[in-house]
Structure 1
Amino acid sequence: MSFAVFSYEALVHAVSGAMGSVTAMTVFFPLDTARLRLQVDEHRKAKSTPAILAEIIKEEGLSALYRGWFPVICSLCCSNFVYFYCFHSLKASWLKGKQSAPSTDLIIGIAAGVVNVLLTTPLWVVNTRLKLQGSKFRNADIRPTNYSGILDAFAQIIRDEGVGALWNGTFPSLLLVLNPAIQFMIYEGLKRHLKRGVPRELSSVEVFIIGAVAKAVATIVTYPLQTVQSILRFGQFSESTNEPKLLSSIRAIKCLLVNRVRKYGMLGLFKGLEAKLLQTVLTAALMFLLYENIASCTFRAMGLSSKHYKRR
């Protein structure tokens, strides 16, 4: 199998990762709804995840838990396809069959994350808007939106806010490439440790556990920036237009973080973390489990299982 950037192996990883993430996100989508409400609606009190879900159902109906599912799934599918493809193609090109190391996984993960952010941020901006549209907020300052779908959201954002608005939150997103990079570094490291040089497939329980551990660590480390990212994507925060975009983004991040600390203390930076951990850890664990099984079955069907597992 060629280690070229355009290879069947990278394509199998990309498709497997995209399918696994879409299935896992669909299963745990209501938890992501609760997390996003807590991050964006500052006046909503932080409660247990079941309490937040019960509030949403009572005020907006059961279907509100899955509001914005389609755009999120579209964004997630594209995002994970790009990330998995870049990660595995860059890793194969760099290592050329040699054993990887945690530092290598981290660097490759960051590079794959940067490519992913630049290509898919517009999709995430649109899906954040659609997911929160029609929600009952505690904060009266939040402006209501009226998008009829993904294409209409793109058209309205470009018309009313300019093309640049589709990349709102790009700077914190670029900083947040550390999240999947740390996640993959820990995941690949734990996988190598469990295999201890033996070319075998991990059990489903092993994959689920190390996927959960890897995502939990990455989420806790980067959560304050994830909150800022959600607020900026929602487009309700006014940034200065009289200074360069990068300087304005840095100032916006600093302002949002400082305001959170002043209003709610240091714990305010982690508002919604419980819901985020539940959603992201369970989703990541299930995603890795599905990804490994789909990739394994595909490689086995292609007659590449033995060579493939020696390299990983």
Structure 2
Amino acid sequence: MTAEVFSYESLVHAVSGAVGSVTAMTVFFPLDTARLRLQVDENRKAKSTPAILADIVKEEGLLAPYRGWFPVICSLCCSNFVYFYCFHWMKASWLKSRQSTPSTDLIVGIVAGVINVLLTTPLWVVNTRLKLQGSKFHNSDIRPTNYSGILDAFKQIVRKEGVGALWNGTFPSLLLVLNPAIQFMVYEGLKRQLRRGASRELSSLEAFIIGAVAKAVATIVTYPLQTMQSVLRFGQVNTPTEKSTLLSSLQTLQGLLVNRARKHGVLGLFKGLEAKLLQTVLTAALMFLLYEKIASSTFRVMGLSSGHYKRR
């Protein structure tokens, strides 16, 4: 078991996934900026993604769509390294030499997601704060922040809000482990269908298309929870403290969902979905393409190019 935990194959998958995700996010980062503004700033009028980006550039400058790039990339790199490592390590341990199934991929994806959330949520809380710092909000109730960098953000959050604030949004994040779990289940299922039992690597077009389809399905299913996750990470919501943490989290999440639905209708829960789909689908598609190519090239150099593909 110890050998499987620290296997070279798991490390290759983790590094490939991290490099692929960082590259893809950098390319499509402005789309994520547009999505986050629409989720957090309730008074910002929903427009097409190009129109939102044009407004941000006009109000805040040419580089505003890339504000917070470094903390996001750091968080994403760590998060995807942990997720890919845990997913492939647990899958290899569980399956041994047996064929994977959709239910196996879903269960392994959920467990890997829980581990990832518990380890990396503080990074995502800080990254959300830094990404939105200095933004011009249309909602006057949002309080401005002043962080000089990642470490300063950590220090200020702990000092002013307590250590627990670093795990703001953990509850919806735990629910949202369904997102990558569904994504990997659909991706691995489509990959098996394309191969039809043959031990071959996917073409660039195949990896891009099934990566896009998998992420689109996962994003649409879980989007309302993603919106509430962004709001909670931003730290502008007062949560009840007189009850248990789990009960408070449930009530806060329910209250946010109900309030947004009352204010903006059911469609308000999907505000920013266009920008999110555009960003995540393209990012995921490019990430999986790069991941497959980096991993397959590495395994080919290791002499695992034939038998290894069948097990992936």
With the shorter chain as reference, the TM-score category is: over 0.9
Q: 2:31 is matched by which residue type in structure 1?
A: L
Mapped partners of 1:138, 1:81: distance in 2:
36
Asked if residue 106 in structure 1 is aligned to residue 113 in structure 2, the reply is: no
> Alignment partner of 1:253: what SS?
helix
Trace 1:5-24 onto structure 2 (pairs within 5 A): 5-24=5-24
Whether the 8 Å CA contact 1:39–1:230 is kept in 2: the answer is yes
2:30 corresponds in structure 1 to 30
User: What is aligned with 1:190?
Assistant: 190
For residues 57-88 of structure 1, give each alpha carbon's deviation from its aligned partner in whole angstroms, at most 9, with x where no partner exists: 00001111000000000000000000000000
**What is the correspondence of 1:41-190 to structure 2 with a 5 Å cutoff?**
41-190=41-190
- SS of 1:116's equivalent in the other structure is helix
AA at the equivalent of 2:195:
K
Cross-structure match for 1:273: 273
User: What 5-or-longer segments of structure 1 have no aligned partner?
Assistant: none
Which whole-Å CA distance do the structure 2 matches of 1:141 and 1:267 have between them? 23
- Superposed counterparts of 1:260-299, under 5 Å: 260-299=260-299
1:3–1:93 contact (8 Å) kept in structure 2: no
Look up the match of 1:300. Answer: 300
Q: CA deviation at 1:28?
A: 0.1
Residues paired across the two proteins, number: 311
Alpha-carbon displacement from aligned partner over 1:157-214 (angstroms, at most 9, x marks no partner): 0000000000000000000000000000000000000000010111100100000000
- Residue number in structure 1 paired with 2:230: 230
Write out per-residue CA displacement over residues 100-127 of structure 1, whole angstroms, 9 at most, x where no aligned residue: 0000000000000000000000000000
The CA distance in 1 between the partners of 2:274 and 2:6, in whole Å, is: 39
Q: How far 1:6 sits from its partner (Å)?
A: 1.3
SS across alignment from 2:97: coil
SS, match of residue 125 in structure 1:
helix
SS of 2:45's partner is coil
The aligned amino acid for 1:16 is S
| Equivalent-residue separation in structure 1 for 2:274 and 2:76 (angstroms) | 21
Q: Structure 2 vs 1, CA of residues 185 and 3 (structure 1 numbering), >3 Å: closer, same or farther?
A: farther
Is the contact made by 1:215 and 1:284 (CA closer than 8 Å) also made in structure 2? yes
Aligned twin of 1:215:
215
Deviation at 1:306, TM superposition (A): 1.1
Distance 2:310 2:272 in 1: 41
Amino acid corresponding to residue 177 of structure 2 in structure 1: V
Contact kept, 8 Å, 1:3 with 1:92, in 2: the verdict is no
Alpha-carbon distance in structure 2 between the residues aligned to 1:78 and 1:40: 24
Measured on the aligned residues, the alpha-carbon RMSD in Å equals 0.8
Give the superposition deviation at 1:310: 2.0
Q: Deviations over 1:205-238 (max 9, x none)?
A: 0100000000000000000000000000000001
For residues 310 and 285 of structure 2, the distance between their equivalents in structure 1, rounded to whole angstroms, comes to 23
Give the percent of matched residue pairs that are identical in Structure 1 and Structure 2.
83
- Displacement of 1:3 in angstroms is 6.9
SS in 2 for 1:43: coil
Poorly superposed stretches of 4+, deviation over 2 Å: none
CA distance in structure 2 between the aligned counterparts of 1:38 and 1:159, rounded to whole angstroms: 29
For 2:172, the aligned partner's letter is P
Q: How do residues 197-212 of structure 1 correspond to structure 2 at under 5 angstroms?
A: 197-212=197-212
Q: How big is the shift at 1:47?
A: 0.4
**Displacement after TM superposition at 1:305 (Å):** 1.0
The answer on whether the counterparts of 1:17 and 1:291 sit within 8 Å (CA) in structure 2 is yes
Contact 1:215–1:281 at 8 Å: present in 2 too? yes
Q: Matches of 1:275 and 1:309 in 2, distance apart? A: 34
Look up the equivalent residue of 1:15 and give its one-letter code. V
Partner secondary structure for residue 305 of structure 1 = coil
SS in 2 for 1:4: helix
Write the letter of the residue equivalent to 1:155.
K
1:108 aligned partner, one-letter code: V
